[in-house]
Amino acid sequence: MKLQIILLGLFLIGLAIFVFYRKRGKTRSFLDRGFAIRAHDSTQDHDNHHDDARVMVQTTHFIVIRLMAPKGSAYVGYELMQALLSAGLRYGSRNIFHYYEETEGSEKILFSLASAVEPGTFELSQMGSITCPGLTLFMEYSNNSEINPLNTLTLMLDAARQLSEDLGGQLLTDKLRPLTEHDIKRWRLQFEGYEQNNLDLVIPA
C-alpha cells in the first residue's frame, strides 16, 4: 500500500513537471510567433514607406482643356486639319495629335489633342469626312519629368486660344465649366508649388 502511494506521488510529480514545461514551451512558441509577426509587420511597414515614396515619385497629373463647337455645329474635315497644323500640332502616336518639343535631335511630347468623342482618336485617311463636336487638349506632368510644366501650360493655352479663334467655340475645363483666368492662375500656382516640392526632393550629392 505504501509502495502504491509512493508510485502515485512520483506519477503526479512527473505529470506536473510535464504540464509545466509544455505550457512554457507553448508560451515561448507564442512569443516567438508574436515577434515574427511584429518583425514582419515592421518590414511590411518599411516596404510600404518605400512604396509610398515610389508612388510619390511616379505620380502623374493631368491638366485638361476642352474646346466645344458652338451649339448646333461641329468641327469638320480639312478645316479642322488646317487649324490643328497651324496651332503647331502634328498627327502621331495613339492616333491623336501632339505638340512636340525638339531637343538635341529628339522629340518630346509636351501636350496632346484628342477628339471629345470616344474613343478620341482620328483616322488620318478619313480626316476629310471627320465630324466632331469638340476637342480635348491635355498635358501630363510628374515630378520626375524633364518637361517644365509652366512652359507647357503656356504653350497649350496659346494653342487652345488659337484653335478657338480659328474654329470658333468655347474653352471649358475638364468639368465642362467655362475656362476662366481664375482656373489658369490656380494651375500656375499649382505648378509653382509642384516645382518647389521637386526641388525639396533633390538629394545633394
- Tell whether omega for the bond before 119 is within 30 degrees of 0, i.e. cis: yes
Residues in the chain: 205
In the predicted model, is pLDDT for residue 35 greater than 50? Answer: no
List, for residues 8-21, the tens digit of each pLDDT value: 555 555 555 544 44
Look over the chain and give the mean of its residue pLDDT values, rounded to a whole number: 76
Residue 197's pLDDT is 58
Residue 11's pLDDT is 56
Amino acid 67 reads: L
CATH number of 57-201: 3.30.1400.10
Do 58 and 142 meet the contact criterion of CB atoms below 8 Å apart?
yes
d(CA 85, CA 106) in angstroms, rounded, equals 20
Do 79 and 166 meet the contact criterion of CB atoms below 8 Å apart?
no
State the DSSP H helix or E strand holding residue 9, giving kind and residue range, or none if neither. helix 2-58
Higher-pLDDT residue of 35 and 203 is 203
Q: Once rounded to an integer, what is the mean pLDDT over residues 127-155?
A: 89
Residue 174's pLDDT is 93
List, for residues 61-108, the tens digit of each pLDDT value: 899 999 999 999 999 999 999 999 999 999 999 999 999 998 777 889
d(CA 171, CA 68) in angstroms, rounded, equals 7
> In this structure, what DSSP letter does residue 97 have?
E
> In this structure, what DSSP letter does residue 178 have?
B
